[in-house]
């Protein structure tokens, strides 16, 4: 049984203190992984210790060894609102986030209209305040209308509350504009996020260019479409010194390009979606359109290279790339179906596959899904240090469950993990000390 809190209309309840007792406390920011207690008072973390004597009136949450970690920070969420509320709203996305242990959503500017004006940044923040049950921070458009032709007023967008700027689903193709953007954004310390795909090289491709695509009779997207754009961006980041983040990579060659750039001293970061870490092109099977996404799923060798890069820290951030699509646009022939898959509710559970098979440690996973994205976006969460916001996730990494699309909290149900067996269940999600989601096995 799942239980969600109601929106707080801009204020958090002054709840009584909460003591999490007997948890496996994983705090990547401090490099700690130990069993103990954690005390929350007035929405803040007060103390972590082997054993804590709770103040009078404290709510006791008996954890029985479940993992307690900083709430996840998802850097790439398409929330639909404004303009695409039939696919998702901030309210429905926030419920999916809470069920998946995500306490902060960074919402992309690919809305209608795009988030390219301070008033629209303010609109998203106000709507989130009134309807969402997790934290919402807007990523603003880097160019007006996301058309890739004219820069937005980055300083004003930042002042209004934007935590980064992005070209949206498509790359900023104009190299001169990208150079100016990195230089100008650098003056404000603003992170520039770019999709790494050369649209001309990608052409009309719909999956990874490979023998598998040939067998399915589908046009392919070469890895070069990604690496050519990534190489350009890495050189521009070195030239300008701007804060650059490759939104998501999908190929082994991209990993090598990033490693080489960092050896040259270029300060860049990158993300990868949980789908690309846990699925490959053969999972498409007989034209499963819920696995059609951008960038496309690549080979198993690419997937393994991405997992290795996550484990060694080359990949900084894991994202859901939550991109809701409805039945009308997904129940189509593969080549005609829309790209995109939802992922907020399954990101943590899917990532635990990598923990269970020994590929990535739990602290490394939590760092990539909480601590590092929080730091990149300039947020105060992502840590269990005393005085930090009590944005937490409590989960049982061994609890089995099956993904039922109809039971997911998103308005759209286009999950690539439909009917998949997962091992790892969120038990409680806490935002500013307030439980916004609780799971109980009773009644199931």
> Quick one: pLDDT band at residue 214, thresholds 50, 70, 90?
very high
Residue with tokens 């009136």: 57
User: CA geometry: angle at 1 spanning 401 and 405, to 5°?
Assistant: 50
Beta bridge partners of 195: none
Based on the fold, state whether residues 151 and 184 are members of the same structural domain.
yes
Summarised one tens digit per residue, pLDDT across range 404-443 is: 999 999 999 999 999 999 999 999 999 999 999 999 776 4
How many domains does the chain fold into?
2
Based on the fold, state whether residues 100 and 114 are members of the same structural domain.
yes
Based on the fold, state whether residues 18 and 84 are members of the same structural domain.
no
Based on the fold, state whether residues 230 and 215 are members of the same structural domain.
yes
Q: At what angle do helices 175-188 and 224-240 cross, to 10 degrees?
A: 50
DSSP 3-state of 206: coil
Query: Does the residue 274 lie in any domain?
Result: yes
Distance CA 228, CA 243 (A): 19
Query: Does the residue 385 lie in any domain?
Result: no
Query: Does the residue 403 lie in any domain?
Result: no
Distance CA 76, CA 139 (A): 9
What is the percentage of the chain residues whose pLDDT exceeds 70? Answer: 98
Based on the fold, state whether residues 51 and 82 are members of the same structural domain.
no
Burial of 6 (0-12, 13-18, 19+ CB in 10 A): exposed
Summarised one tens digit per residue, pLDDT across range 196-207 is: 999 999 999 999
pLDDT at 356: 98
Query: Does the residue 444 lie in any domain?
Result: no
Based on the fold, state whether residues 48 and 118 are members of the same structural domain.
no
The whole-number average pLDDT for the span 13-21 is 83
Based on the fold, state whether residues 268 and 357 are members of the same structural domain.
yes
Residue with tokens 């049984």: 1
> Quick one: pLDDT band at residue 39, thresholds 50, 70, 90?
very high
The rounded mean pLDDT for the chain is 96
Summarised one tens digit per residue, pLDDT across range 269-323 is: 999 999 999 999 999 998 999 999 999 999 999 999 999 999 999 999 999 999 9
pLDDT at 14: 56
Query: Does the residue 51 lie in any domain?
Result: yes
Distance CA 311, CA 308 (A): 5
pLDDT at 11: 44
The whole-number average pLDDT for the span 330-358 is 97
Contact 57, 16 (CB under 8 A): yes
Query: Does the residue 288 lie in any domain?
Result: yes
Among 174, 138, 135, 134, which Cα is nearest to 157's?
Answer: 138
> Quick one: pLDDT band at residue 10, thresholds 50, 70, 90?
very low
Summarised one tens digit per residue, pLDDT across range 75-125 is: 999 999 999 999 999 999 999 999 999 999 999 999 999 999 999 999 999
Based on the fold, state whether residues 231 and 356 are members of the same structural domain.
yes
Query: Does the residue 24 lie in any domain?
Result: yes
> The domain that contains 27 carries what CATH number?
2.30.40.10
Based on the fold, state whether residues 185 and 292 are members of the same structural domain.
yes
Query: Does the residue 383 lie in any domain?
Result: no
Based on the fold, state whether residues 53 and 178 are members of the same structural domain.
no
> Quick one: pLDDT band at residue 1, thresholds 50, 70, 90?
confident
Which pair of tokens denotes residue 380?
């105060």
Summarised one tens digit per residue, pLDDT across range 119-162 is: 999 999 999 999 999 999 999 999 999 999 999 999 999 999 99
Q: CA–CA distance from 158 to each of 126, 153, 178, 389 (Å)?
A: 16, 9, 18, 22
Q: In terms of residue numbers, what domain contains 278? A: 70-376
pLDDT at 444: 42
| Residue 13 in this model has a pLDDT that exceeds 70 | no
pLDDT at 8: 65
Which pair of tokens denotes residue 370?
């909480």
């Amino acid at each position: 049984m799942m239980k969600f809190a109601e929106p707080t209309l801009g204020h958090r309840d002054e709840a009584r203190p909460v003591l999490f007792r007997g948890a496996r406390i994983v705090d990547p920011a401090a490099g700690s992984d130990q069993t103990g207690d954690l005390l929350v008072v007035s929405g803040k973390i007060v103390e972590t210790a082997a054993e804590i004597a709770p103040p009078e009136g404290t709510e006791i949450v008996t954890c029985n060894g479940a993992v307690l970690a900083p709430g996840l920070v998802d850097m790439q969420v398409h929330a639909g609102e404004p303009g695409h509320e039939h696919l998702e709203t901030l309210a429905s996305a926030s419920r999916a986030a809470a069920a998946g242990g995500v306490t902060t959503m960074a919402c992309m500017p690919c809305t209608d209209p795009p988030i390219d004006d301070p008033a629209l940044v303010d609109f998203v923040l106000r709507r989130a305040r009134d309807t969402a049950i997790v934290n919402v921070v807007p990523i603003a458009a880097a160019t007006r209308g996301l058309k890739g032709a004219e820069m937005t007023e980055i300083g004003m967008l930042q002042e209004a509350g934007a935590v980064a700027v992005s070209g949206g689903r498509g790359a900023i193709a104009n190299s001169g504009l990208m150079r100016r953007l990195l230089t100008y954004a650098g003056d404000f310390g603003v992170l520039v996020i770019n999709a790494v795909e050369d649209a001309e090289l990608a052409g009309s491709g719909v999956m990874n260019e490979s023998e598998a695509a040939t067998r399915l009779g589908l046009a392919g997207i070469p890895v070069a479409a990604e690496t050519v754009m990534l190489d350009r961006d890495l050189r521009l980041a070195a030239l300008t010194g701007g804060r650059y983040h490759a939104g998501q990579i999908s190929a082994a060659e991209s990993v090598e390009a990033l490693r080489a750039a960092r050896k040259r001293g270029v300060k860049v970061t990158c993300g990868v979606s949980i789908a690309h870490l846990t699925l490959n092109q053969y999972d498409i099977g007989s034209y499963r359109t819920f696995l059609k996404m951008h960038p496309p799923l690549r080979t198993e060798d690419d997937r393994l290279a991405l997992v290795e890069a996550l484990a060694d820290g080359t990949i900084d951030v894991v994202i859901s790339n939550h991109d809701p699509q409805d039945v009308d646009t997904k129940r189509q022939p593969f080549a005609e179906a829309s790209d995109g898959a939802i992922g907020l509710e399954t990101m943590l559970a899917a990532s635990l596959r990598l923990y269970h098979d020994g590929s990535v440690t739990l602290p490394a996973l939590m760092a990539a899904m909480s601590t590092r994205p929080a730091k990149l976006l300039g947020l105060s969460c992502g840590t269990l240090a005393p005085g930090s916001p009590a944005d937490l996730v409590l989960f049982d990494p061994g609890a089995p469950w099956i993904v039922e699309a109809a039971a997911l909290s998103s308005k759209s149900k286009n999950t690539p993990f439909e009917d998949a067996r997962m091992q790892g269940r969120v038990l409680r999600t806490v935002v500013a000390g307030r439980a916004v989601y609780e799971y109980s096995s009773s009644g199931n």
